[in-house]
Amino acid sequence: MPRNMSFMLTTEQIKNRTKTVTRRLNWRFLREGDIVNACERCMGLKKGEKINSLCQIRIKSIGLHPISRIDQDDVIKEGFPEMTPNDFIDMFCREMKCDPNQIVTRIEFEYV
């Protein structure tokens, strides 16, 4: 059974299929070819709420990099074509409560 992965901050990008890369503080256990359920939110659900599954994705590649190494091409693949790399780094670090030197898992995927 596929794992669930939350895309709470990028739900619209998943729905529009404009996002093909995501960065996570963990998720190092994923392997190329794994299928994952992309969900709006997976944790912190209130009593009676259910997981809203958006689609399934297949993992194409995994890499470990400092968030500070993101380039404009990957900002676009993250679903934020209007942002600069520095804008994305600031937003990511603020939301994930980390610093720009944080090693993150870069996950490239395709829609199933």
Minimum mean pLDDT range among 10-19, 47-56, 80-89: 47-56
Count of domains for the chain: 1
Looking at residue 49, its pLDDT comes to 74
Tokens of 5: 């992965």
Residue 106 pLDDT class (50, 70, 90 cuts): very high
**What is the domain-level CATH number for residue 33?**
3.10.400.10
Give the residues across from 107 on adjacent strands: 22, 62
CA distance 74 to 34: 21
Q: Which helix (H) or strand (E) holds 74?
A: helix 72-77
Higher pLDDT, 53 or 31: 31
* Residue 104, strand partner residues: 65
Which domain covers residue 27, as residue numbers? 3-111
- Reported as a single tens digit per residue, the pLDDT across 74-96 is 999 999 999 999 999 999 999 99
Phi and psi (nearest 5°) for 8?
Answer: -60, -40
